[in-house]
Each structure stands twice: as structure tokens, then as C-alpha cells.
Amino acid sequence: MNNSYIDEPMLEAYVYETSQIIETLEQLMIQSEKVGNFSADAINEIFRFMHTIKGSSAMMMFNEISTLAHKIEDIFYVIRENQGVKYDFSTLVDCILESVDYYKIELIKIRNGETPDGDTASLTDKVNDYLEMLKEDNGLKKTKKEKETKSEKDQKYYIRPSKKEDPAKYYKAKIMFKKDCEMENIRAYTVIHNIVDLVEEVLYKPSDIIDNDQSIDDIRANGFLMAIRSTSSEEDIRKYLEKTVFLESLDFGEAEEDWYKEFEVIYQDQEIHDDIKIPETSKKYIENQKVKKEKEDIKQEVTATTTQSIISVNVDKLDMLMDMVGELVIAEAMVSQNPEVVRLEIESFEKASRQLHKISSELQDMVMAIRMVALSTTFMKMHRIVRDMTRKLSKDVVLDVYGEETEVDKNIIEKIADPLMHIIRNAIDHGIEDGEDRVAKGKSKQGSIILEAKNSGSDVLIIIKDDGKGLDKQKIYEKAYNQGLIYQSIEDLNDKDIYRLILHPGFSMKEQVTEFSGRGVGMDVVAKNIESIGGSVIVDSVLGKGTTIILKIPLTLAIIEGMNIKVGESRFTIPIVSVKESFRPGSREIIRDPDGREMIMVRGLCYPIVKLYEYYGLRTDVKDYENGILIMVEEDDRSCCLLADELLGQQQVVVKSLPNYIKRYKQVKGLGGCTLLGDGSISLILDVGEFELSNVLDK
């Protein structure tokens, strides 16, 4: 596929619509599996989903995708049309979820501008075999679709004309599709589906273009015939028909009213007409016409507020909008903090500056709100992980979800799916015991995993809690010590420090390598992904009771409140949520540990000191504590004090990522990005989470 295809609005709409359908379908499967059957609504919904995918995929020439959807649609047609039919629910769910996985892979290819070339032969055969078994087990050798008589196949759909005289004219059209375009019946259906807004009535044959696959041969041999009554101009209708995809030839022109009689074979009077089978598209059109007539006078009073209130916006446009708001924040700081202007103390300027700040803050909040996405979709995907793993590992585990309506930034939500998946997989594989072991320990046979999200200030906490065997501190310590990850004695480490060792690269407590774990990857990926978005991971556990992992992530990555500090000629910004306090210590408050490292005693507690000028190798005249200032920062219950020359004040800053050449040149710890201050200088944003005691000791 040409990469330019992905820019085509039609293809973008297809990918978006199909992705939404697939996500909803997967959720519907998981929900139905919990109750052990498909409700009538679920059956209709799945049938509609498959029908939509079949039609839209055929129109986009994705024939493998369309064919598979058609086969699944056939299954649910049989189930829907034959009440009380018996079917193997579990096998059917497996088939559909396997199809969902196939669709996901193909949609990724399409998004990347590649050809969806996945082979569906084995999957299609499996679906076909299921359909045949379904018919055989229920004595349905042929469905109602297949029992249509020749006269029914030759039906012509008709929308009865109004008895009132109108200025409508009659037209006839014959469409021939290009050879080997495939799915001619679906393409014909697309023509009818879209033309109803342009015409008053439309009749066509072959009639049963959706339910009867033999209509394909009829269209190939004789073309797709249409009789049209419309008040639109001949030119408008012609232009529409000429846009038909894979059009080989079009024979179109005005017709006499008598020509309609060719399409009126199946109705002679009102009684016969009442029995005429009207396609879904026509039914919708008739209902629309009734509503249109009944509300003729009201129509003029309808305002623009009745239009659709929700629109889809490309996320790239939201990113650009957020960038522009960020530039506005910087420009506002340049104006309001300009020392030459501030020195003048102009009251009207200060008033206007406050108003500008208020407007920019409200605009920022609004744009951030637009970018917010609920966690529900991401959380629902975890149900599939639990389902598949419990089957393969023969474990009984239930996943309970809370707070899925919690919202975070769009860019952040894309980063947490993999970490969540790793944690859930580890909980099932490592944490939850087998049913017999759980019963022997006095637990219920069914394991439990709780997935919860909630707001906490400017952060969101995602809590994953299981009731498994928990973490063994002694074993973790011994494993880490033997691997050379630590050198301290176990008495010198608190519980959280020991539990955090499972986040180290290459660390694994699994003795055997399995499909899901034991290779030493997973939890370190969790830590890296979460830290890359400015978040952190907290691990807690009780041996024999279970493990709790908390992902602390920011609401947004774009704009933060920061405390600006100065070290020599350099500027740094500390996220205000990490700042506990700032103070100028006395020399007597500085102490040293047995290894000679400087610490400060504050209210009976000792905190390590990080001299930023030493840490980053900066030149400064302020090297003693009496002339400098200490800023106490905290992250995940770990605190330290940073020594700076002076505080420059608090302000909103726009977070920019560090340039790639800086990242490649040197892996500098403790930096989370950079920003532009109001005076035009660049400030480096500190990542407080990296100022751990171990990092300080490394210096």
C-alpha cells in the first residue's frame, strides 16, 4: 500500500471506525463470557458489527478482512433468525476473539501504510466449520437466506410513490463494475445506501444484494439496474453515480413513468404491496420521509444547536494546539516578567497582565481537558489479558476494575498500556497461586486482582492489587545480592527499598522460563515506561497476603507549576509538587554519616544533601550552606535536600524534551526536560525521582 493512502480521509475514517468496533466487540465478548451466553441485544450488536466491517472493508478493497467478517456474520444470522438454536458458546467466543486479534494486526498495518496481507485461511476454515456444525446440530441444512425461491431472488425493492403530484422526474441507470473488483453486491449496496439523500425513491435489481451471494454473478452478467424518482437535477445524479468506486461503465438517462412498470412486477395493489420485502436502507428512508413531512413547519425553527455535539479531531492537531498554548504561556511570562516594564510599576499594565494570565490559564485548562481521555478503554483490555492467561495457566482469577472513568492526558494513556499488561501478567504468573494451594492456605479457590484508578492532586494513582502469595523479602535480597545489585546488609534497607529491587533490569524471581515470564524483563520495562512520562512505581507487599503496585503518573506532560532556582550561571526548575520546603541551614545542623557523607538533621530526621554544583560540575561562588539555600524535595516517600545559590520564584513552565544530541552525548541523571523562561534563558527541569540516595553515593 502506498504510504499516501493513510492521509486519505476515507481510509482514516475506515481505520477509526473499525478500531472502535473491534474494541467494543472485544469488550462485548468478555462481558458475555462472564455470564456464559449471548443476550439477544449482544447477538444483534455483533451481527451489526460484522455487517459494518464487511461492507466498509470491501469498499476499501480489504477483501480478506471483509470475507472473515462475512463468515462471522453468517453465524450470527443463523443464531438470530432461529430462536432457541443450540450452539457451542465457548468455541464461538474463541473464534471471535481470534478474529479480533487478526483485525488488530491488520489495522496496525493499515495505519503504518502497509498492505493488510494477513492470511485468514485457517481462521476462515475454522469459522466455516463452526457454521456447518451449527447448522447440522440444529437441523438447519439451509438457512432462511438459502431457501429463497427464484421469484424471491428476482424481487425488486419498491418504495411506494406519494399520491400527491410532485415535480419529480424518472431516471434509469445501469452500472457495470470493473472486472475482478470483487464484492460487487457490497459495492451496489454502497451506491443505494448513499444515494437515498439525493432521491425521492429508488428501486433496484437484483434486489437481495446483501443476503444473497448469488446476486454477485447477476451483477457481473447484467449489471446493477436502478429506477430513480428524484427532484434533483439529472446532472447531480449523474455526477454522484460517476463517483462509484470501480465503475466500468454507466448508462444513465431520463425515463418515462411507464418504465417503472418493469420494477412493479411483485405488487399490484395495496395488499400485495404490504407484503413486499423492503430493505433496511429503504425502511430508514421511508421513516425519514414520514418525519420530514410531519415536521415540515418545525424544520425552519431548528437551530445550529441540534447538530452533532461530538466531533473527532486528529490528535496531531491537539498536540499543535497544546504547543501553541505553551508558546502563549512563555510569551506571557516574557511580557509580565520583563524587568524593564516591571520597574515602571504601571498600574494599568499590571491589571492587564493579571487578566492575560487569567485568560491563558483558562485556555490551558480547556485545552488540557480536551486532551483528557478516560482510562476505561485501557482497563478493559486487561480483562482480555486475564482471560487468556488464566486459560493457559489453568488458574481461576477474577479482575475487578474501579475508577475507570478517571481521565489522563492522551499522550500518557498510550504509555501505560504495556506497563499495566506486564504487571497483570506477573500477578497471575508469579503472584496468584494454583487453586489447590490457595485452598490449602485457607484462601478462596478463585484469585483476585483489583485494578483501580483515582486522582491525587496533580497526579493519577493506578493501583494494582492481588491476593496472591506476596513477595519474600529475604529471597529478593539474596537474589539481588548474588547478582551484585546491592552491597548493603538487609538490616540497612527498608521494605520498600527491597521491593524496588524487582524493578532492576534482568531481575527475576521465576526459576523457570515460561511463555509469560522468567527472562528477567518486564518489571524494569514498567519502571522505564512510567519514569519516561514523569511518573514513578511504588511496590508494597505482605508475604502470604498479596502484593500492591502503585503507578503514580502526572495528569499531563505539557505544562507544570515549577520552582525556579539558580546554580552559578545555570537555571533549574523543580516541579512544585515535589517541593516540601526551602530553608537556609545553620552549620550545626550539618552532620556526617559513618562513611563521611554530609546530611542534615531536620526535626529529628536525617536527609542526604545533593550539592547541585558538584553533581553537575558547575562553577559557582556559593559553596557553603550559610550563603546558599536548601530545597527539600520528595518522591515516593524518599526525600533529599538540594543545595542551590538562590530561589528565583514560582511560575508555570512548558515542558520540552531534551534534544536528542544531548541524550546521546551523555546520560545525565536527574534531568526530566527543559523549558524557556520569561527572560529568554533556558532552564533544565529536574527529575526529583532520580536523586535517590544510591545515585548520590555514586557521585
Which string of DSSP letters, residue by residue, matches 524-540? HHHHHHHHHTT-EEEEE
- Model pLDDT, residue 279: 41
Cα dihedral 268, 270, 273, 275 sign: negative
* More reliable by pLDDT, 639 or 301: 639
Residue 73 has φ and ψ, to the nearest 5°, of -60, -40
pLDDT surpassing 60 at residue 270? no
Q: In this model, does residue 695 exceed pLDDT 50?
A: no
> Residue 555: which residues within 8 A CB-CB, separation 6 or more?
368, 372, 408, 409, 412, 455, 458, 459, 460
The CB density around residue 341, as the number of other CB atoms within 10 Å, is 14
pLDDT per residue as tens digits for the range 7-32:
466 788 788 889 989 999 999 999 99
> What does pLDDT average to over the chain?
79
Among 215-229, 439-453, 474-488, 659-673, where is mean pLDDT lowest? Answer: 659-673
At 451 the pLDDT is 95
Domains in the chain, CATH or no CATH each: 3-137 (1.20.120.160), 150-290 (3.30.70.1110), 315-372 (1.10.287), 375-554 (3.30.565.10), 559-698 (2.40.50.180)
DSSP code of 341?
H
Res. 260 pLDDT band, cuts 50 70 90: low
State the pLDDT at residue 309.
55
What is the reported pLDDT for 8? Answer: 63
- Structure confidence by residue, pLDDT tens digits, 395-415: 999 999 999 999 888 888 888
Confidence class of residue 646 from pLDDT cuts 50, 70 and 90? very high
SS (H, E, C) 257-287: HHHHHHHCCCCCCHHHHHCCCCCHHHHHHHH
The reported pLDDT for the residue numbered 262 is 61
> Whose CA is closest to 407, among 369, 362, 357?
369
Question: Rounded CA gap, 415 and 357, in Å?
Answer: 31
With 80 as the cut, is the pLDDT of residue 213 above it? no
C-alpha cell, 38: 449471548
Question: Between 666 and 285, whose confidence is greater?
Answer: 666
Share of the chain above pLDDT 70, in %: 81
Say how far apart CA 257 and CA 662 lie, in whole Å. 77
Query: How far is it, in rounded angstroms, from Cα 534 to Cα 144?
Result: 59
Sign, Cα dihedral of 546, 33, 374, 21: positive
Task: Assign 3-class secondary structure to 427-472.
Answer: HHHHHCCCHHHHHHCCCCCCEEEEEEEEEECCEEEEEEEECCCCCC
pLDDT, residue 289, reads 44
Angle value at C-alpha 373, between 371 and 375, nearest 5 degrees: 155
The stretch 453-467 carries a mean pLDDT of 88
Measure the CA–CA gap between 504 and 521, rounded to whole angstroms: 9
pLDDT tens digit sequence for 147-188: 443 333 344 443 444 444 556 788 888 999 888 777 788 788
Residue 146 confidence class, pLDDT cut points 50, 70, 90: very low
> Are the CB atoms for 466 and 549 separated by under 8 Å?
no
- pLDDT score, position 100: 94
Q: 335, 343, 415: which is closest to 375 by C-alpha?
A: 415
Report the amino acid identity of residue 73: E
Helix 63-81 × helix 89-111 angle, to 10°: 150
| Average pLDDT for 588-605 | 84
Cα–Cα distance measured from residue 615 to residue 643, given in angstroms and rounded to the nearest whole number: 10
- Look at the pTM and tell me if it is higher than 0.85: no
What are 541-582's pLDDT values in tens digits?
A: 999 999 999 998 887 766 788 999 999 999 999 988 889 999
pLDDT higher at 51 or 669: 51
DSSP class of residue 307? S
> By percentage, how much of the chain surpasses pLDDT 90?
24
Q: Given this model, what pLDDT does residue 382 score?
A: 92
Residues in the chain: 699
Residues ≥6 apart with Cβ < 8 Å to 258: none
List of residues 6+ apart from 392 with CB closer than 8 A = 515
Res 665 pLDDT > 60: no
Q: Which of 36-40, 178-182, 372-376 has the lowest mean pLDDT?
A: 178-182
In this structure, what DSSP letter does residue 372 have?
E
Residues 463-474 have a mean pLDDT of 92
Find, among 254, 240, 250, 89, the residue nearest to 170 by Cα.
Answer: 254
Of 69-73, 219-223, 369-373, give the lowest mean pLDDT range: 369-373
CA 666 to chain centre: 34
The answer to whether residue 282 scores a pLDDT higher than 90 is no
